[in-house]
Structure formats: structure tokens, C-alpha cells
A and B are shown apart, each in its own frame.
Chain A
Amino acid sequence: MDSQDDRSTGVTAHTATIPATATRALDFDALYRDARDDVFAYAATLLRDRGAAEDVTAQAFERAYKRRSRFDARRGTPRAWLFGIVRNAALDELRRRKRASVAELPPPIAEPAPDEAAELAAERDAVRTALGTLAARDREVIALKYHAELSNAELADVLGVSPTNAGTMLHRAMTKLREAVDA
């Protein structure tokens, strides 16, 4: 399954009026179409709450739209910039909630295909459950990498660490996930 194919089809947003220099650097509509579902997936994985993830996604895109003129292409890719905003919004939501949610990761909206093997479905459930047991920091790294499809460099930009550290954090998180799945 190619996650890129699922990204935001049928979006009708028009190009916003922003400075010419920023327009060349940031096509907000394209960014929105490309990243809408990725942002939701990241927020949902981190917050483990579908409603909160929707609110955070909407809030993050609104903030990004208002700050679009401040985007500087020299400081990173548009996706890294956007996920930085999303991360702050998600962490603010975590702060507001005061305590960690114990809910499991939200299940996918679509039901499994009829011809899908029951074993594969069980493996997915196991991974989803294991992901829900990980610490928020590990969940965040995995979500940014495999749900948002960020590169290691973009991951480093979002987390505020070096690319090497980002790779190390990702490796550790995947190791923990593998252990949780095998347990």
C-alpha cells in the first residue's frame, strides 16, 4: 500500500495571496493537499485521540496559513516547517490535557478487504497495539517517519536534533516497537 496515493484527493483550495518571494518558496495549497492526511496521522498517533487529532490538524494548518509569509526555504523544507507547527500544536494539546490519554491508537476508517488474510489483519492489530504502548516520544518519531513520510533530515528539523541523532532515535523506537510486537 502506497501511502502517497492516499494523500488528500479532491482538494479545491485556491492559492492564497501571499508575497511573491514566499509564493516561489511555499505553495501552500500544494503543501496542504500533500500533507493533510499525513498531519492527521501523526497527530492521531501521538495523541491517540481522533477528535483531538482533527482539532490539532485544523489548528496547525490555520497557524501555518497565517504564518506562511514567514517561511524561509533556506531553513528547511515546507513539510519540515509544517510539521514543526503541527508538533507544537500537538504538544500544546498534550499540555492542556494535563494527563496522558490511555486510549489505544484509533483504528483505520476503512474495513479490511474481504480477501485480506486473517493473519495479516492480526499482525496489523498487533503492531497497532504495540505502537499504542510505546512512549509518546517513540510514537512521535515513528509517526513522523512512517506516517508522515519525513526524511531523516526533516525529522531532525522537526525534533530539533541532528540528523544522526534523529536516525538513532528512530532506530531505538523501532527496536522498542519490535520488542513490543514480539512480546
Chain B
Amino acid sequence: MPDLETLVREVRPEPDPTWTARMDARAAAHFPSKPPRWKQALQTTRDHMLAIGAVATVSTALFAVVMVGVNYEGGGDEEPASGSTMSADVPASEELSEDSMGSSGAAPTAEEKSAPTRSGADSDFSDESAQPSTPAAAAPPTRDRAVISSAELMLSTTPDKVAGVNDRAIQVVDALGGYVETSSVSTSGRNASATLTVKIPSAKLDEGIARLSRLAHVKSRTQQAQDVTDQRSALEAAVRDARADRDGLRARLAKATTDKDRTRLRAQLDRATRRVTQRQRRVAELNHEVSYASVELAIEGDRRSGAGAPPAGRWTPGDAIGDAVRVLEVIAGVLVIALAVVLPIVVIGILAALAGRVVTRRRRERALEMA
């Protein structure tokens, strides 16, 4: 009699030959099965990868062409090298101008604040005007209000571009009919900065601020407006009074009969003439302040890369490298954010998978116990 182990081996269940044949056929065909839907979609995508790649390439090229066109469109000399420099810390000049005007209460328009009006006595003031000479003609004053405008603009660029931005700022001021009052560029080691005090025709202040803002990254920008209409009227009245006094003295001098009277009247006439001249000079100075807005421009070379426009307004290899670095920085930032989102999800997924495996294993063992 064979032992128990041999008997156990002999009672081993054997498969049906028909099933065995089917099984062998499936094994020979590598167990074919219908792929899931997501795999079918993936396969379809893979089949059309060439076409998708071509479309993506053409789209990217078109997008790049359009973006380059937009960047250089209407930029003139002061158009920045990249769109990033347009992202100023302050709102656009037009908006800021409206805001500042609105907060002043007087709310003069650009025309109103540009220059004072000269009344009927304009010709009287001009003949004896003590107005200082300017490099360009001032804008014609408006008739309603006299407003003194001023602005402060702080630009930021790389240290090596400070001088270039400074030169281009002067070009902008010249092009607008303004002039440079003071200008200084200081360089020490890797640091560089420049400060300018420029005068821009009041009528072109907004345009000037906008063009200067495009030269580099704007760190801060402020504008002020002071209504001096009453002050100017008072000064003009004082001129008229002085002129009336002078004319009266001239009439009395013509009628004087004695040398003593003539000497006394001539002395009074000289003083009256000087008063007229002084008061006319004050009016002229005020008109000049109204006609030309003062802009304090500071250029700081404290940026690492990607700031400001190149000296000749061209997109140089250095700018390309700067833009590339900036793109890489953005990509790295996006990746870090994505990692911060994905990492906890992955950890939770791993823990859930481990827990699922443990639970499944226990359920299987339980099923074995119950069988």
C-alpha cells in the first residue's frame, strides 16, 4: 500500500484537455484582452502625436511672433525689452494722473493745469518781461486756471544700464520740448544711480511721465498739482497798480514847474518803475512755473536682471539671457508650488494604498478561514 503522500499526489485534480487547449492558445497570444478606455484614448493620441506636435509648434511660433510684435509695437526709443518691465509698482500714468487730480479737489484737467492764462494785460507784461530764457518754447497757457504741476519718479534697473537709462531720459525730455535742470550719475563698485531734475511743458507732463516710465521698472511715482490762479491774479493786480502809479508820476513830472519838484518826481518815478519791473518778474516766474512741470527722476541700479530697456532700444543677447533666467525662475516657482500641492496627495495616496493592501490581505485570510 502506497504511503499517504503518494496517494495525495495521485488524487491531484487534472485539467480538462479542452480547457488546456484554450488556455495554451491564450498563452500563445499573450493573453489578449480589450484595453481600457483610457488606454485606447492614449493610443489614439499617440497615433496622432506627429500632427499634434506640428500644430503645437506652429501655434507656439505664431504666439511668439505676435508677442514680439506687441512688445515692439509703437514703443519708439523707450520701449522696454520685455513685457516684464511694464509691470510697475504703481498704476499707469493716466490712472495716476486722474487719481491725483481727483484727490486735489480742484480737479483741473490736463489742459487746465498746463499753464496760466494771460488776461488783457498780456501785452503789457511781455514788453518788459523778466522771464528767464528756456531751451524750448513753453506750451501755450490756458485761460481758466493756473496750476503748478510736479512729479517724482523712481526707476529701477540693473547697475550697468543706469547710464543708458539716464541718457534716454534726457532724450525723452528734449523730444518733449523740456530741458534738464540738473543731472548726475554716480557709480561706486557694483552700485550705480542717477538723479535728474527736468522741466517738461505742463501740457505734455502725462505723456512725459508715461514715456519715462517705460524706460525701466517703476518703483514709485507721485504727482502733485497746486492751483495758483488766485496768487497769479493778485500779482497781476499789483503790476497794474504799480504801472498806474508810474503813469501818474510821469504825468506829474511832465507838469512839474520847478527843478525841485522834477527831481523829487524823477526819484519817485524810478522807484515806481523798479516796482513795476519786480512785480512783472514775479508774474513771469509764476507763469514759467505753471508752464513747465518739474519732474524729479531717480534711477537706481539695484536690480539683478531683466529690468529696463537696452541703450539702443534693441533686444540684446544679454536681455535674452535675463529673460531666460526669469522664465526659469517662474518655472521653478511653479514646480515648487506644484510639488507643495502634489506631495501631500502622493503621501496620502501611498498611505491609502498601504492600508488598502493590509485590508485586502486580511479579507483574503478571513475568506480562507471561512471556506
A residues near B, CB below 8 A? 1, 3, 6, 8, 10-14, 16, 29, 32, 36-37, 40-41, 44-46, 50, 53-54, 57-58, 61-62, 65-66, 88, 91-92, 94-95, 99-101, 105-110, 119-120, 123-124, 127-128, 131, 135-137, 140, 142, 146-147, 174, 177-178, 181
Interface of chain B residues 1 through 45 with chain A (CB within 8 A): 1-2, 4-5, 7-17, 19-20, 23-24, 26-28, 30-31, 33
Residue ID in chain A nearest B21 by CB atoms? A10
Chain A hits for B27, CB < 8 A: 11, 13, 29, 32, 61, 65
**Could you list 24 A-B pairs, sorted by A, with CB under 8 Å?**
A8-B20, A8-B24, A10-B24, A11-B27, A14-B30, A29-B27, A32-B27, A36-B20, A37-B20, A45-B12, A54-B15, A54-B19, A57-B23, A58-B26, A65-B31, A91-B368, A99-B370, A100-B371, A109-B14, A109-B15, A136-B368, A136-B371, A137-B368, A174-B5
Residue ID in chain B nearest A55 by CB atoms? B19
A91 to chain B, nearest CB (A): 4
B107 to chain A, nearest CB (A): 77
Is B11 in contact with A61, judged by CB distance below 8 angstroms? Answer: no
Residue ID in chain A nearest B368 by CB atoms? A136
**6 tightest A-B CB contacts, nearest first:** A136-B371, A91-B364, A44-B13, A13-B27, A94-B367, A100-B371
Residue from B5, B11, B26, B31 in contact with A105 in the complex, judged by beta carbons closer than 8 Å: B11
Residue from A10, A128, A136 in contact with B369 in the complex, judged by beta carbons closer than 8 Å: A136
Q: In the complex, A99 Cα to B367 Cα: how many Å?
A: 8
B3 to chain A, nearest CB (A): 10
Is B368 in contact with A94, judged by CB distance below 8 angstroms? Answer: yes
Chain A hits for B33, CB < 8 A: 62
Residue ID in chain B nearest A127 by CB atoms? B7
Q: Does B363 contact A (CB under 8 A)?
A: yes
Q: In the complex, A156 Cα to B291 Cα: how many Å?
A: 99
Chain B hits for A50, CB < 8 A: 13, 16
Residue from B12, B17, B24, B363 in contact with A13 in the complex, judged by beta carbons closer than 8 Å: B24
Chain A hits for B13, CB < 8 A: 40-41, 44-45, 50, 53, 105-108, 147
